[in-house]
Amino acid sequence: MKVLGISGSLRKASFNTALLREAAALAPDGVTVEIVDISGLPLYDGDVEAAGMPPAVDAFKAAIRAADALLISTPEYNYSFSGVLKNAIDWASRPPEQPFDDKPIAILGASAGKLGTARAQYHLRQVFIFLNGRILNKPEVMVGGAGAAFDDAGRLTDETARELIGLQMAALRDWATKING
């Protein structure tokens, strides 16, 4: 099973990209996680779209379509998810082929705050209601106090969070199997 990991943070030392690497390491047998880089997507512009989809957008949409499931790791900025993640979703959701429809999706996130991306994840869930993404409800993974949850090499040291990620990856595998048949 192929899971496409999408990080809503472009920072080199991103806690959210680190969560995706942890998820890949904790994935059950037979599940692989490929992390896509969204930094090359231009800002959404209807005029650019009208002139033809940028190659980076076509490649991103193709990667979503080719995946059996998505794993989205989001930071929390100003009580919501990041602008770069919203931009990537906006580009990918443009017609004629919207690749999120019926796609199994799990969400996780890390932030410095105590709520650990709770508000960002709920906003992201609202976006995927409209796009008909099949969001995995539980377990939720919200890593608060991210600065203390990772070591200097970017490895997650919070054992409870690691356990939850392992459980979420197994649940995503089962969810995707159920949806994809």
User: What is the 8-class DSSP label of residue 112?
Assistant: S
pLDDT of 139 above 90:
yes
Using CA of residue 3, residue 18, residue 41, residue 82, what is the dihedral sign?
positive
Count of the separate structural domains present in the chain: 1
CATH number for the domain spanning 156: value is: 3.40.50.360
| Amino acid making up residue 176 | A
Rounded-to-integer distance, Cα 104 and Cα 177, Å: 9
Residue 99 preceded by cis peptide, ω within 30:
no
Range of the domain at 105: 2-180
Q: What is the mean pLDDT of residues 131-152?
A: 96
Q: What is the mean pLDDT of residues 136-143?
A: 97
Predicted local confidence at residue 126, as pLDDT? 97
Predicted local confidence at residue 46, as pLDDT? 96
Whether 105 contacts 134, CB under 8 Å: yes
pLDDT tens for 54-93 read 999 999 999 999 999 999 999 999 999 999 999 999 999 9
Predicted local confidence at residue 175, as pLDDT? 98
Predicted local confidence at residue 85, as pLDDT? 98
118-130 vs 83-92: helix crossing angle, rounded to 10: 10
Is 171 buried (19+), middle (13-18) or exposed (0-12) by CB count in 10 A? middle
**113 vs 9, which has greater pLDDT?**
9
Rounded-to-integer distance, Cα 144 and Cα 115, Å: 6
Whether 65 contacts 97, CB under 8 Å: yes
Chain-wide mean pLDDT for the chain? 96
Q: What is the mean pLDDT of residues 5-29?
A: 97
Per-residue pLDDT band at 47 (split at 50, 70, 90):
very high
A 10 A CB-CB count for 48 gives 14
